[in-house]
Structure 1
Amino acid sequence: MSEIVETVPFDAKRIGELKNKYYNATVVHRIDTHPDLARFRIRPDKPFPPFEPGQFVSLGIGNWENRVEDTQEEALTEKDWAKCIQRAYSISCPMLDEHGNLATVNDVDYLEFYVTLVRHADPGQPPPVVTPRLFGCGIGDRLMIGKKIVGHYTIGSINPDDTILMLSTGTGEAPHNAMAAHLLSNNHRGRIVNATSVRNRIDLAYTAEHARLMDQYSQYCYLPFSTRDPENIDANHPGYVGKQYLQELFVSGKLAEMADDPLDPKNTHVFLCGNPAMIGYVPPGAEPPSATGMLPLLKEAGFKDDHDYEGPGSIRFEKYW
């Protein structure tokens, strides 16, 4: 068995060699929402050709990089320390440039990532590798970007008057922001509803951009919900609303009411991204989740879970599991 090394066994020269071997992109901006949530703008050395909003790419960082404090410890062999570990991330979007104009994924020379710091793994899982190191990076630091931007979670063919319903949890909002900017830039006339649910409202990183978009485009609607703020859990709170899960909001009709749209499958396309429990996809042979996800609820409402169908009433969802 290889010896476990507790500190980086390489000198500066060796680390420089590893960076030159693997790294091909630079952090050009970082926007922190709070210590565990940030937007990273990373510029690849070689620009990517135009790609579809909603797609993803791998983001890599070397095991030799320092982790931020208060994250789970790792036990690495000397061979492990020389590895550059990659994870797939959906590409987000600034949505607006510094002048307040629409900015799509293909209007900027960087890739934006919306990332949560994972400090500790779930029981029985290996320690998180990428985010504890990524959150130690600042402007000018180097990283690795995968060779190709890929993925089938894209807008596809949609009638310009159809309704778009995008449901997400947490950083699953990222591809939907890219889609929303693209639809607006292409003069989509139908309702665009971008709804997301987070634990706490401090976990919303794009509220200012969404507010400006709603001021500029009457067809755009951003609906943020939370589940663990005082108004969600304290029945005596003057603004008590209970835990706002997307599934319950959809079934109760509150989502359609707040979206000011019937969300009828006859003219509505649904996109789902985020927590598997919210999506409700059950892989073959797996046990169904304890709580009902959106997929069965949407099917009951007349939507279709058919990846070969792109017409009204279609359901599309992103999954990395």
Structure 2
Amino acid sequence: MTSNDTSIKEPLTETKALTVEKVLSVKHWNEHLFSFTITRPDSFRFRSGEFVMIGLPGENGKPILRAYSVASPSYAEELEFLSIKVPDGPLTSKLQKIQPGDQVYLGRKPTGTLVTDAMLPGKRLFLLSTGTGLAPFLSIIRDPDIYDMFDKIVLVHSVRRVSDLAFRETLESRLEGDPLVEDEAKEQFAYVPTVTREEFHTRGRIHQLIDDGTIFQDTMFNRKYFDPETDRIMLCGSMAMIRDFEAYFEKLGFIEGSNSSPGQFVIERAFVD
């Protein structure tokens, strides 16, 4: 794929808030979803689940920035991100055309509430995502600490089409070949993909999978319901999904957590997929 936008080829200049990084790889999952890796500054530190600003120059030369969850584990030498393609989007219309060797802006200060520091200890951790909301959970499930904190980690990813199931093979293999968590993931990690608009072995929205017990099939205790005493929830995805599940879990007695006051479920409110 070639780019007609010369602005992403021109050398970028670092600022107090932004470093300039090189694109290392790009993978197009389908016509509206792609992922990419960039170089990681030696000084860049983040907690699994956090997001950071990514950007390119705008028409006026000023950076156009958008929040992206880091999809790579916190120990990785490269930084990976997952993005939708918006044809007329101020940033993604350009970002989807990047190629290895191009430059992008990277924010110096990652942040976010989708971190384990914002949750109380528990037994089962459910990661509920739609679309590109999968990204922070790709980082979390490859964090060795998460397998010490919880007995079972269940990642649910709801998308419209089968081709939207980014990183499906890696997740279906239970992170086979991962240098740090392969053994733990085989015993403790479960992946539940679901598709809403095409034929697939698991179909329906996340609420349907909760109602019929599907997301509890590979979890401990044989308990097919959520318990605020032992279960912890992380939510990332569309705003509609976030609003629905926020009300759902609060009705069940779950309390939302934050970095300053840990709770039983956490939400990333900075962006929607």
Scaled by the length of structure 2, what TM-score is found? 0.81
The Cα of 1:149 is off from its aligned counterpart by 1.3
- Give the direction of change, closer, same or farther, for the CA distance of 1:225–1:258 in structure 2 (3 Å limit): farther
After superposition, residues 23-102 of structure 1 pair within 5 angstroms as 24-44=20-40, 46-63=41-58, 80-93=59-72
- Which residue pairs with 2:265 in the alignment? 315
- Which residue pairs with 1:77 in the alignment? none
The 3-state SS of whatever aligns with 1:222 is strand
- Give the direction of change, closer, same or farther, for the CA distance of 1:247–1:151 in structure 2 (3 Å limit): same
CA contact (8 A) 1:214 1:221 kept: no
Gaps of 5+ in 1: 1-6, 64-79, 94-103, 120-126, 232-238, 281-292
The 3-state SS of whatever aligns with 2:93 is helix
- Which residue pairs with 2:240 in the alignment? 277
Alignment equivalent of 2:215, drawn from 233, 240, 255: 255
The 3-state SS of whatever aligns with 1:92 is coil
After superposition, residues 235-254 of structure 1 pair within 5 angstroms as 244-254=204-214
The Cα of 1:21 is off from its aligned counterpart by 5.6
CA contact (8 A) 1:246 1:278 kept: no
The 3-state SS of whatever aligns with 1:223 is strand
The Cα of 1:188 is off from its aligned counterpart by 4.5
Number of equivalent positions? 251
Structure 2: distance between partners of 1:247 and 1:81: 44
User: Which string of whole-angstrom CA distances, capped at 9 and with x for unpartnered residues, describes residues 202-246 of structure 1?
Assistant: 101111111222664221001000111045xxxxxxx6x6x5111
The Cα of 1:296 is off from its aligned counterpart by 1.8
Structure 1: distance between partners of 2:172 and 2:208: 24
- Which residue pairs with 1:73 in the alignment? none
Residues 1:170 and 2:120 aligned together: no
- Which residue pairs with 1:105 in the alignment? 74
CA contact (8 A) 2:130 2:158 kept: yes
List, as ranges, runs of 4+ consecutive aligned residues in structure 1 with deviation greater than 4 Å: 183-186, 258-261
After superposition, residues 134-153 of structure 1 pair within 5 angstroms as 134-153=95-114
CA contact (8 A) 2:48 2:115 kept: yes
- Which residue pairs with 2:162 in the alignment? 201
Structure 2: distance between partners of 1:185 and 1:258: 18
- Tell me: higher relative CO, structure 1 or 2? Use CA pairs within 8 A at least 6 residues apart: 2
Structure 1: distance between partners of 2:10 and 2:194: 45
- Which residue pairs with 1:300 in the alignment? 251
Scaled by the length of structure 1, what TM-score is found? 0.70
Structure 1: distance between partners of 2:60 and 2:111: 28
Aligned-residue Cα RMSD (Å) equals: 2.7
Letter in 1 for 2:160: R
Whichever of the two has the greater Rg, that structure is: 1
Letter in 1 for 2:216: A
- Which residue pairs with 1:100 in the alignment? none
Letter in 2 for 1:248: Q
The 3-state SS of whatever aligns with 1:213 is coil
The Cα of 1:50 is off from its aligned counterpart by 3.0
Letter in 1 for 2:265: I
